[in-house]
């Protein structure tokens, strides 16, 4: 039933009330099911049975094995074959993926489960896609080139940062040029996602901080994106609010369940932003830091975030003023002043979380900046989203400001 609640006079002035604002096209591919909550990992066996699992491949990390032991034992008691692998311990290369695929193909799993950080989840997503796939991995590196996925996929994050558990993205490092390459496809969105904030309690403070700031960057870059969308704004704004209000407490009191849950929720919301809108300049400029100097992805983003914000601000003052509000800042006498308060809030948060604030602090040599800028300008799939065009000179200037 449609209920009309607009008064006549408002209908007559509707065009004045709502001037022509073009809402961009939007495509969202959500997981088939999302379960969020403390101790939700316990539901995994029953959920896998609902997926008619008979052979399950679990990709995870060694420190999580004790936490998933009860689940794997229950699955085996129910007659499900379970294979566990912990070989992904760093940002994965194409060669790492090829090695693990050779093992998995011999197991013939019908369900792939990823439990871990972004690297583990990305590889799990690609394993599920590659099993019984006539395409080679190289054939679908890029955007929307993957044609199908035949195996069921479940993703369970153990960090609050990447949002990979709900995104259509996976990232691998190319052995040939040492550059990160993206595989983006709706077929990489899992069938089911379990978000158990208790899994993040074991994260040390530095990883908690870096991954939390990565999640914040997902939200912030989606909100200030050239292709920002009203529906995604809702996720992005609330994600920023949850993370900034709770990250410092999660870093300093890692066992605080409420803080962990809030940051996990912010990370999940940031993940929802990655498919339909995605990230922009911060992520593009952070890629060379990971490829060339093997800096953790979240740390790279954290270092660059305030300096890219300063660069972008003149092109999106109103948006950055709203960011400041989401970060808990009060409105100032102008939108520009409010926006600058937001940048200062980010800098204070980085300092409070103990994250290095400068490239020099993490061993990046100044003479590497021109090469990094050249590499960053190749990440056009993200740079096109940035609210302000970044030239090679601009990229060099941002890196120098962050140095």
Domain ranges of the chain: 33-200, 205-402
Backbone angles phi, psi at 160, to 5 degrees: -110, 85
CA–CA distance, 45 with 239 (Å, rounded to integer) = 29
Domains 33-200 and 205-402 share a fold: no
Closest CA to 159 of 240, 250, 262, 264: 264
CA–CA distance, 279 with 4 (Å, rounded to integer) = 38
Q: Which tokens is 40 given?
A: 């939700």
205-402: in CATH 1.20.1090.10? yes
Architecture of domain 33-200: 3-Layer(aba) Sandwich (3.40)
Closest CA to 130 of 120, 141, 118, 116: 141
Closest CA to 274 of 170, 378, 159, 191: 170
> In this predicted structure, what is the pLDDT of residue 179?
84
Dmax (CA) of the chain: 70
CA–CA distance, 264 with 227 (Å, rounded to integer) = 25
Q: What is the pLDDT along the chain (403 residues), one digit of tens a residue?
A: 333 333 444 444 444 444 555 777 888 899 999 999 999 999 999 999 999 999 999 999 999 999 999 999 999 999 999 999 999 998 899 999 999 999 999 999 999 999 999 999 999 999 999 999 999 999 999 999 999 999 999 999 999 989 999 999 999 999 998 888 999 999 999 999 999 999 999 899 999 999 999 999 999 999 999 999 999 999 999 999 999 999 999 999 999 999 999 999 999 999 999 989 999 999 999 999 988 898 989 999 999 999 999 999 999 999 999 999 999 999 999 999 999 999 999 999 999 999 998 999 999 999 999 999 999 999 999 999 999 999 999 999 999 999 9
183 CB-contact burial (10 Å; exposed 0-12 / middle 13-18 / buried 19+): buried
DSSP-assigned letters across all residues of 138-169: GGG-EES------SEEEEEESSSS--GGGSSE
> In this predicted structure, what is the pLDDT of residue 15?
45
> In this predicted structure, what is the pLDDT of residue 8?
40
CB within 8 Å of 15: residues ≥ 6 apart: none
CA–CA distance, 115 with 124 (Å, rounded to integer) = 9
CA–CA distance, 30 with 48 (Å, rounded to integer) = 19
């Amino acid at each position: 039933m449609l209920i009309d609640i607009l008064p006549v006079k408002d209908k007559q002035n509707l065009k004045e009330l709502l001037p022509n604002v073009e809402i961009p096209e939007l495509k969202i591919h959500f997981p088939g099911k999302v379960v969020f909550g403390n101790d939700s990992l316990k539901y995994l066996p029953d959920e896998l049975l609902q997926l008619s699992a008979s052979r399950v491949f679990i990709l995870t990390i060694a420190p999580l094995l004790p936490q998933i032991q009860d689940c794997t034992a229950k699955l085996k008691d129910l007659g499900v074959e379970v294979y566990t692998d912990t070989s992904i311990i760093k940002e994965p290369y194409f060669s790492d993926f090829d090695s693990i695929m050779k093992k998995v193909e011999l197991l013939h799993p019908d369900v792939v489960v990823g439990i871990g950080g972004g690297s583990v989840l990305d590889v799990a997503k690609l394993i599920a896609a590659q099993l019984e796939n006539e395409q080679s991995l190289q054939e679908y590196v890029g955007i929307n080139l993957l044609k199908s996925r035949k195996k069921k996929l479940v993703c369970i994050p153990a960090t609050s940062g990447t949002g990979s558990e709900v995104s259509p993205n996976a990232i691998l490092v190319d052995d040939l040029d040492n550059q990160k390459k993206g595989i983006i496809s709706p077929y990489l969105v899992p069938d089911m996602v379990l978000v158990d904030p208790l899994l993040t309690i074991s994260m040390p403070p530095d990883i908690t901080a870096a991954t939390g700031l990565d999640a914040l960057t997902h939200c912030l870059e989606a909100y200030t994106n050239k292709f920002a969308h009203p529906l995604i704004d809702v996720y992005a704004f609330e994600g920023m609010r949850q993370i900034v209000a709770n990250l410092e407490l999660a870093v300093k009191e890692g066992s605080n369940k409420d803080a962990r849950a809030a940051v996990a929720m912010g990370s999940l919301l940031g993940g929802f932003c990655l498919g339909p809108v995605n990230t922009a300049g911060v992520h593009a400029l952070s890629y060379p830091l990971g490829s060339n100097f093997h800096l953790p992805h979240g740390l790279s983003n954290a270092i660059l975030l305030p300096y890219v914000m300063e660069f972008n601000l003149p092109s999106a003052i109103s948006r950055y003023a709203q960011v400041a509000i989401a970060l808990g800042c009060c409105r100032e006498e102008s939108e520009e002043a409010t926006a600058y308060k937001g940048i200062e809030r980010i800098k204070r948060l980085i300092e409070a979380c103990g994250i290095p604030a400068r490239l020099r602090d993490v061993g990046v040599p100044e003479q590497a900046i021109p090469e990094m800028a050249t590499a960053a300008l190749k990440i056009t799939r993200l740079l096109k989203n940035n609210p302000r065009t970044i030239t090679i000179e601009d990229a060099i200037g941002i890196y120098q400001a962050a140095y």
